[in-house]
Amino acid sequence: MIQTNFLVIGSGVAGLTFASKIAQALPDKTVTIVTKADEEESNTKYAQGGVAVVLDMKEDSFQKHIQDTLVAGDGLCNPEVVEMVVKKGPKRLKELMAWGASFDMDASGKLELGKEGGHSEHRVVHHKDLTGYEVERALLENLRRLPNVTMLPYHFAIDLITEHHLEVPKSKQVSCFGAYVLNQRAGEIITIKADSTLLATGGIGHVYGHTTNPVIATGDGIAMAYRAKAEIRDMEFVQFHPTALYTTKEGPSFLISEAVRGFGAILRDKNGHRFMPDYDERAELASRDIVSQSIDNELKKSGNTSVFLDCTHLDIDQFKRHFPTIYKECLANHIAIETDWIPVVPAAHYLCGGIVVDKDGRTSVNNLFACGECSRTGLHGANRLASNSLLEALVYAHNIYKYHVAHPTDSVNIAIPKWNDEGTRIPKEHILILHNLKKLQALMRDYVGIVRSNDRLAKAVLHLDLIYKEVEELYKNSKVTTTLCELRNMINVAHLTIGQSLKRKENKGGYYNIDNNTAS
């Protein structure tokens, strides 16, 4: 049993920012960070674009950034939340820089501001095409200096501890008392008792197979919160990144950043036709949902496996300076962008919904907070504006920290039973887990993808039910493993996504159902 004041599940920008702030402000309190891979592995690390923040008050304004966010969110953003996040952005960025995160500067020594799809002005601060990696590095360096922070890599959170696990009368208001966590190296399950728990577990991309997310993005936090009876909303709004590098390899798709289209790259079909102007007057700089739906339509019409991003007309030296990682990755795949087009397909990229939180990051479960991509704050509405995600994580991590300083939590004085796995065996049927994972990913890709229909969604419910029954039986009779728990979590996420898709009767932002007549 580990007892801690603050349990943070996840080691991306959301979790690390909160942990840094709370540990520095309350040096007599303990912070425990649980992360299922090594401490550097998270969605943050792969965020190429940057942090959207208003810094140039001559050309730009808070009002313009607010307006761009509301337009992208297609009428479903919470305007108060949008205003709060946009206005707090510059201060949070300065803190990040004070912690040692460096961003690209122009010749005059000012921050170089990029422009991405959906933004009316240049306002994206970046570190080449590895912004997330740089932010993660600075946060981890800062955390390692703090003596009251314990990092537990290769520890997988299985379930949140609520009254459901305790010998106590059920109450109307569910509370969280920590989590059961699998030490993956030792193979044992430990109980972590916490006064306050923060879910900062990132996204769900791996549920789709074709994804820009790392393989750890299996929706664990959302599934745990759902099982703990927290409110989950807007799961139908899965944002697909229009331009992931198309290869035949397994694993995460490499992202060709939106900023490449901002830099002037053009989308073409196999015959060289530039098709985006046929769909939207903004052409390649239309919002992600429009570009993804347009590519999806082109692929369905032609039967081709990809479309192409043409950079051959661009200044290649400038391209290499701005996008060195993308240039190298293309070369590694035998694509010389000076002469070759880059094959691209849409891939699951970002979840706009998740665990419902208020402005202080509080969920509907007592002492349980959520931050980052696993949370649903009301900022993104039906479609996230590019580079608003790192911004959201920074602002909400700060809000959650401020809330805890102002409202100290009581220590948990409840006896928590050990994890009980009597009568279970180590699953020898690893092939069953893998088989069901592949079935689930194919189901989500084919039936619950960019363009949906009521018929396909109804069929998806039936298919998912069969997978669910087989996996639940395996779970009840087996000792838990990370892969089995991840699959169970992904099934929960798929169930929420399909169910909430069926309930949405109008097309909005990233959600498009051919049976809904309302135009988005």
| Alpha carbons 484 and 152: distance in angstroms, whole number | 20
* DSSP structural state of residue 419: P
| Alpha carbons 146 and 171: distance in angstroms, whole number | 37
288 as an active site residue: the answer is yes
The tokens of 258 are what?
């939106």
Q: Quick check: helix, strand or coil at residue 33? A: strand
Q: Where is 388: in which H helix or E strand? A: helix 388-406
| Alpha carbons 317 and 324: distance in angstroms, whole number | 10
Q: Quick check: helix, strand or coil at residue 199? A: strand
| Alpha carbons 275 and 269: distance in angstroms, whole number | 7
Helical pair 482-503 and 220-227, crossing angle rounded to 10 deg: 70
Q: Quick check: helix, strand or coil at residue 192? A: strand
The tokens of 295 are what?
């590519």
Torsion from C-alpha of 308, 104, 69, 17, nearest 10 degrees: 120
Residue 113 C-alpha from the chain's centroid: 23
Residues 6+ apart with CB under 8 A from 470: 432, 436
> Would you give the end-to-end CA distance of the chain in angstroms?
51
| Alpha carbons 432 and 323: distance in angstroms, whole number | 41
Strands 155-160 and 178-183 come out as antiparallel
Q: Quick check: helix, strand or coil at residue 125? A: strand
Of these residues, 92, 123, 288, 384, which one is catalytic?
Answer: 288
| Residues catalogued as catalytic | 288
